[in-house]
Amino acid sequence: MKVAIVANNVPHTQKVKDRLIQKFIDRHFDIDQQAPDVVVTIGGDGTLLSAFHQYKDRVDKIRFVGVHTGHLGFYTDWRDDEIDDLVVSLQSDNGQSVSYPLLEVQVKYQNEAQREVYTALNEVVLRRSGTTMMTDVYIGGEFFERFRGDGLCVATPTGSTAYNKSLGGAVVHPSLNVIQLTEISSINNRVFRTLSSPMIIAPNDWITIEPEGAEDFILSVDSDSYPKSKITEIKFKVSKKKIHFAKYRHTHFWRRVQDSFIGDGYDN
Ligand code: NAP
Ligand code: MN
C-alpha cells in the first residue's frame, strides 16, 4: 500500500506526523506523496478539505483517513493517540471504504471558449464584493425564482454541517445523494421574491443560476475563493464521483452531529 500524509502546520500536528512517518517506515509502507492509495490527514476538517483538493484529480483511486488533533470532526475519525492502531489496521486492509457525495459545478463565461469545472467536498458559494447579487435561479432547466441578496450557497450532505448550517440549512445524512441550496441574506419585496427556505435537490436534478452584472463576483469552493467576472451561467449538480474513506470508524452520523453541536449536556 502506498500512503501519503497531509498535515496542518500546528506544532502538535507536526509531532504526530513525525511519529506516523516512523511507524509507516517501521512497517515497510511505501510513502508516496504523488500517487498514493491512501491519504492520511492530520489536523481538522479543514486539513481534509485541503488534502481532497490536492488529490482531487485522483479522487476515484484514493481513499482518505482523517486523524484529528483537536475535536472530533466530520471527516476525521481517529484520535492522534490512536495512530498505532491506525497503522495496524491499514496493514490488514481489505479495501473496504465508505463513500460520500461530491458537488460538481460548471462555470460558463461570456467568452464561450472559457469553461471551468470545480468539484467541492463541502460547498460552493457565489457572492459579489461590491453590490448585492442578482440572479435568476433555475431548477432542472425551469425558471424558479429571481434572487437578490448577498449570495447563494450549494452544499453537499457532508458539507451541510459547515457553512450551510450557519445559513439555516438542514443537516443532511450523507447516505443521501443530494445537494442543498441556501440563500445568504435574500431581499424579499414586491420585485424580488424567493422561496427563502433551504431546498434539497434530487440526484438527477440540477440548479443553474444566471447572475446579472459583469464584475466583482467571488466564487468560493470549500476553503478557496476565486475572483470571477463575465460569468453567464453556473450549473450545480451531484457529481458522478464520490470521496472514499478507508478505515472509517463508524460513528453514528447523528451522534457526531450531537457531539459537535450539542455536547454532553444533552444527556442530562
Ligand atoms: P476555517 O475558517 O478554519 O473553518 C471554519 C470551521 O468549519 C472550522 O471549525 C472547520 O473545522 C469547520 N468545518 C469544515 N468543514 C466542516 C464540515 N463539513 N462540517 C462541520 N464543520 C466543518 O476554514 P477551513 O477549515 O478551511 O474550512 C472551510 C470551510 O469553512 C468552508 O468549506 C465552509 O463550510 C466553512 N465556512 C463557514 C462559515 C460560516 O459558518 N459562517 C463561513 C465561511 C466558511 P476544523 O476546525 O476541524 O477545520
Ligand atoms: Mn480549519
CA of residue 223 to ligand 2 center, whole Å: 9
123 marked ligand binding residue: yes
pLDDT tens digits, one per residue of 13-69? 999 999 999 999 999 999 999 999 999 999 999 999 999 999 999 999 999 999 999
**All residues at 6 or more sequence positions from 202 whose CB lies less than 8 Å from its CB, including other chains:** 178
Kindly state the DSSP code that residue 44 receives in the 8-state scheme. -
Q: Report the share of the chain in percent with pLDDT over 90.
A: 91
Nearest to 100 by CA among 42, 57, 49: 49
Beta strand spans in 33-160 (E): 38-43, 63-68, 78-79, 97-109, 115-120, 123-128, 133-139, 142-155
Instruction: Please choose from 68, 122, 154, 160 the residue to mutate so as to test ligand 1's pocket, defined by most ligand atoms within 8 A of CB.
Output: 122
Identify whether 45 is a catalytic site residue.
Answer: yes
User: Residues enclosing ligand 1, CB less than 6 A?
Assistant: 44-46, 49, 73-74, 122-123, 158-159, 161-163, 166, 222-223
Tell me the average pLDDT of the chain. 95
Q: Which pLDDT score is estimated for 249? A: 76
Instruction: Please choose from 10, 12, 45, 253 the residue to mutate so as to test ligand 1's pocket, defined by most ligand atoms within 8 A of CB.
Output: 45
| Domains parsed from the chain with CATH numbers | 2-96+247-261 (3.40.50.10330), 102-241 (2.60.200.30)
The answer, as to whether pTM is greater than 0.75, is yes
The bound ligand whose nearest atom lies closest to the alpha carbon of 75 is: 1
Q: Which pLDDT score is estimated for 265? A: 58
